[in-house]
Amino acid sequence: MKQIVHFRSSSVESRLGSQRSVQTSGRGTTLAFQSRNTPNPNVASFVLPVYQFSMTNTRGLTSFCFICLLGLLGCATVNSHTEAPGTEGEGSFTIGPEYKIDRDLTDLGNPKGKYFEFTLRLAESKIFRGDDKTLEPANQPVRQQRKIFVYVPAAYKNGTPAPVLVIHDGPGQMKLVRNALDNLTISRDPNRQLPPFIAIAVENGGNDGKNSERGLEYDTMSDRLARFINDEVFPAVLANAEIKAAYPKLAFTKNPWGRAVIGCSSGGAAALSMGWFRPDLFRRIIAYSGTFVDQQDDDAPEEAKYPLGAWEYHSSMKLIEQSAPKPLRLFTHVSENDLRSTDPEETHHNWVMAGQRTDAALTAKGYHHRFIFSHNTGHCDKRVFEETLADTLVWTWRGYRAE
């Protein structure tokens, strides 16, 4: 007869609704962990074959205790990929019409980290080679190589698994991010601190809009960009000779809560898609002037499933509303005078409408979400970044627990 013994952890049970069990039979024992009410790939459901034993002898009892210990370790592993940041700073906010740069985004003379640049050839990529059939290189030239920009803050300790911020359209907001890291990783204010994350800015593949390499990378509704960053960019950073010489034990955290993405315009839509399709890899999302509109290539294979591209997140298919909540923490923004702000709905290209609907959908679904509407500003407005980015980064990383 099969005997089942259940183990529960109050912390994991309350957050994930999980339990693990030992199943015994004459042929052996298995330790099983099953997560309930978490339909995401980030939380595993797994079974570990362990040791054959008899519950009637001491040796078997010792093995049984060992199994219990494995269960607790499994609990700790899963629990390390959860967090309870609270609700402070969540909601919808309006700023403007006047703006000034946040002091924490300026050079205050604090210790500096190290900055690196290198390139990756598109032809050597297995994911974005620059030869997709949807591209029109005669009209939308594709880059032969892309630049990668890396900043390691002074507060990072070599050998520590580092959290990471990926910046689309590199170098993007790298200068502001560097200053924020220099100032806020050593802040004495517990409510205004940043973990010493590694900033990695990745240049896009070239041009913009439909049938371009940038459009392919950023506006496609798939996990392709997330895989490219995780499988090719991260290893390239760790393998770079100059970086290895400076930080021979550099490592990136495997905890998806330690991986953030920031982008503007299509880069913002790309940030959301990376988290949406691969929450097991990226969970902190920052999207300014997000292109949550129909800008996916008309001849992309993904059109069959998502015919209106990123517009499907908030309208038409209403993916956010209709899908089970994902383990994501999201900041979104739209400007008063963002792109095509007077377009009718049937164009599926009104940035203001898309941004406000995305905010409403995320709020209704109960996500940890912060939204900013900025008056007297345009698309990817520099003034909005200078006013808000420090606060955005602090809020985005709230609740992160370093390894």
Which of the four pLDDT bands, split at 50, 70 and 90, describes residue 15?
very low
Measuring CA to CA, how many Å separate 316 from each of 118, 167, 310? 41, 29, 10
Among 60-64, 314-318, 340-344, 383-387, the minimum mean pLDDT is found in 60-64
Q: What is the pLDDT of residue 345?
A: 97
Tell me how crowded residue 334 is: count the other CB atoms within 10 A of its CB: 30
The C-alpha R_g of the chain, in whole angstroms, comes to 23
Contact 169, 191 (CB under 8 A): no
Q: What is the pLDDT of residue 42?
A: 40
Give the pLDDT mean for 394-402.
Answer: 95
- Say yes or no to pLDDT of 34 above 70: no
- Say yes or no to pLDDT of 48 above 50: no
**In angstroms, rounded to a whole number, what is the distance separating the alpha carbons of residues 219 and 141?**
17
Write the pLDDT tens digit of every residue in 75-104. 444 345 778 899 999 999 999 999 999 999
- Could you tell me how far CA 54 lies from the centroid of its own chain? 46
Q: What is the pLDDT of residue 22?
A: 35
DSSP code at position 156? P
DSSP code at position 258? G
Q: What is the pLDDT of residue 21?
A: 36
Sign for the pseudo-dihedral over CA of 51, 55, 56, 62: positive
Cβ neighbours of residue 131 under 8 Å, at least 6 residues apart?
A: none
Give the pLDDT mean for 273-298.
Answer: 98
Considering the four listed CATH numbers 2.40.420.20, 3.40.50.300, 1.20.140.150, 3.40.50.1820, the one that applies to the domain covering 91-396 is 3.40.50.1820
Give the pLDDT mean for 288-312.
Answer: 98
Measuring CA to CA, how many Å separate 57 from each of 30, 52, 54, 63, 311? 18, 12, 6, 10, 63
- pTM of the predicted protein model: 0.81
- Is 235 exposed, middle or buried (CB count within 10 Å of its CB: 0-12, 13-18, 19+)? exposed
Contact 207, 140 (CB under 8 A): yes
Q: What is the pLDDT of residue 84?
A: 85
- Say yes or no to pLDDT of 379 above 90: yes
| Residue 23: its H or E element | strand 18-25
Q: Which amino acid is at 157?
A: K
Q: What is the pLDDT of residue 10?
A: 31
Write the pLDDT tens digit of every residue in 127-182. 999 999 999 999 999 999 999 999 999 999 999 999 999 999 999 999 999 999 99
Q: Which amino acid is at 18?
A: S
DSSP code at position 104? G
- Say yes or no to pLDDT of 72 above 50: no
Q: What is the pLDDT of residue 292?
A: 98
* Residue labelled with tokens 């627990």: 401
Percentage of the chain beyond pLDDT 70 is 80
Percentage of the chain beyond pLDDT 90 is 78
